[in-house]
Structure 1
Amino acid sequence: MQTSTVIEAKKINKYFYSPGKVQVLKEVTFSVNKGEFVSVMGKSGCGKSTLLYVLSTMDTDYEGQLLLDDHLITDQPSQVLSQLRNEKIGFVFQFHYLIHEFSVLENVMVPGLKLNKLSREEVEHQAMEKLRIFDMHEHAFKKANQLSGGQKQRVSIARALINNPLIIMSDEPTGNLDKKNSDIVFGIFRELVQEFHQTMLMVTHDSELADKTDRTIWMEDGKIVSHL
């Protein structure tokens, strides 16, 4: 069976300029296939979060080429990238960035309403279905600030899924959680890959979690040193 590539980086170079010119990504080349769960590991400062921001199209100041769903997206206008991000990429961060005065359901609906492809009623239905996957539907009408840390992270994953993205990118998604909630969140990720064939790319410093992913990309000093 032929595997399709969801995202591909070709010779990505990235520089910071404060105060002098420093290269933070060096000829980074790799791809992630549909339905694959890939982790990016490395010491703090190795460039893994910088890489994620480039891959997510939030940072466009780089050299090299980036392809999403076999389409070259390097040098695309910002409004095109914004639409691509909202439609094809889901995000889960260490900090969940929920809007506290909104209900749980409203938080999950935000990217769906922004995409503007379905009616509000349809987006609400989809959001409730996503919450149901994570056993959070009974909390749908609570305010986000009434939830525990682990519950908030589950809601943020439901939000990342609302537009049925090609890929979910996560930056230290369990970094703020205790062991029990880390295991729950990681278990959700694994279930998304196995049951829903979701493609996942996760930046983490937790080698125990990385060992449970399909493949680990190791970074050192801005370079990829191994794919295992």
Structure 2
Amino acid sequence: MQDIILEARHINKQFHDPVTVQVLTDITFSIAKGEFVSVTGKSGCGKSTLLYILSTMDTDYDGDLLIEGVSMTGKNDAALARIRNEKIGFVFQFHYLLNEFTVLRNVMLPGMKLNKYSEQEVEHRALERLKMLGIEHLAHKMAYRVSGGEKQRIAIARALVNDPFIIMGDEPTGNLDVKNSEMVFNIFQQLAEEHNQTLLIVTHDQGFAEKTERIIEMEDGKILRN
């Protein structure tokens, strides 16, 4: 049996504002190591809410979330923050690079925050990730001086710097043109196939989703297919 990296068990979520609205209903699925999975569905179907729960940023739900077989229920904020930083890499629609830093420093930031390796080791790891994505020549450029497509590749390198168990993406191609979207997809596919990296990507882009290994399709807070 493949290693299960992430498992959602009967997750339910409600918003109370001011009436109670059921946002997620009985969400149950698991993701194995090396799988490239997309989550699709219309706006408002609960995709991003689910991602917030799976990434441990939202703890107000019923059910259970397990990362590498360990339940996240009842863990305090500090423990969850460490798990997020060590085990989950994030790629968002907007790259959130810090303009006052070089590309290399941006990629190093999660590694410095984790405080597990020396600064030299984090720098080495960051350069390795940039090299893997074919952008090591940008290392010493200021972040604001690189193109949109390059910024998203830098964001992916940053997500990889701590060797996360899983990369989670929230519309990572939502802000990119067709050419750059394809490039990001190809990077993700290469990470899954060559590096056995697990990926869970929320996307509106049906073309992107159809090329992934597996689609979790949502509607009205429920999973239609998995």
Task: Tell me the residue number matched to 1:176.
Answer: 175
Secondary structure of 2:149's counterpart equals helix
Secondary structure of 2:211's counterpart equals coil
- RMSD over aligned Cα atoms: 0.6
Name the CA distance, whole Å, in 1 between partners of 2:16 and 2:149.
Answer: 37
Shift of the alpha carbon at 1:19?
2.4
Aligned residues: 226
> Which residue identity is paired with 2:197?
Q
Task: Tell me the residue number matched to 1:115.
Answer: 114
Shift of the alpha carbon at 1:74?
1.4
User: Given the alignment of the two structures, is residue 165 of structure 1 paired with residue 164 of structure 2, yes or no?
Assistant: yes
Secondary structure of 1:75's counterpart equals coil
Q: Please report the TM-score for the alignment, with normalisation by the length of structure 1.
A: 0.98
Name the CA distance, whole Å, in 1 between partners of 2:218 and 2:211.
Answer: 18
Task: Tell me the residue number matched to 1:32.
Answer: 31
User: Given the alignment of the two structures, is residue 7 of structure 1 paired with residue 6 of structure 2, yes or no?
Assistant: yes
The percentage of counterpart residues that share the same residue type is 60
Name the CA distance, whole Å, in 2 between partners of 1:41 and 1:75.
Answer: 29
Secondary structure of 2:7's counterpart equals strand
Name the CA distance, whole Å, in 2 between partners of 1:181 and 1:19.
Answer: 42
Task: Tell me the residue number matched to 1:81.
Answer: 80
Secondary structure of 2:5's counterpart equals strand
Secondary structure of 1:188's counterpart equals helix
Shift of the alpha carbon at 1:193?
0.4
Name the CA distance, whole Å, in 2 between partners of 1:5 and 1:52.
Answer: 17
For residues 94-129 of structure 1, give each alpha carbon's deviation from its aligned partner in whole angstroms, at most 9, with x where no partner exists.
001111111000000000011111100010010000
Name the CA distance, whole Å, in 1 between partners of 2:47 and 2:10.
Answer: 15
Q: Please report the TM-score for the alignment, with normalisation by the length of structure 2.
A: 0.99
Task: Tell me the residue number matched to 2:95.
Answer: 96
Name the CA distance, whole Å, in 2 between partners of 1:49 and 1:96.
Answer: 17
Name the CA distance, whole Å, in 2 between partners of 1:200 and 1:89.
Answer: 10
Name the CA distance, whole Å, in 1 between partners of 2:2 and 2:83.
Answer: 22
Task: Tell me the residue number matched to 1:143.
Answer: 142
Name the CA distance, whole Å, in 2 between partners of 1:39 and 1:74.
Answer: 24
> Which residue identity is paired with 2:152?
Q
Shift of the alpha carbon at 1:16?
1.1
Name the CA distance, whole Å, in 2 between partners of 1:208 and 1:85.
Answer: 29
List gaps (5 residues or longer) in structure 2. none
Name the CA distance, whole Å, in 2 between partners of 1:70 and 1:188.
Answer: 27
Secondary structure of 2:131's counterpart equals helix
Name the CA distance, whole Å, in 2 between partners of 1:69 and 1:102.
Answer: 34
Task: Tell me the residue number matched to 1:69.
Answer: 68
Which structure 1 residue ranges, 4+ long, deviate > 4 Å from structure 2?
none
List gaps (5 residues or longer) in structure 1. none
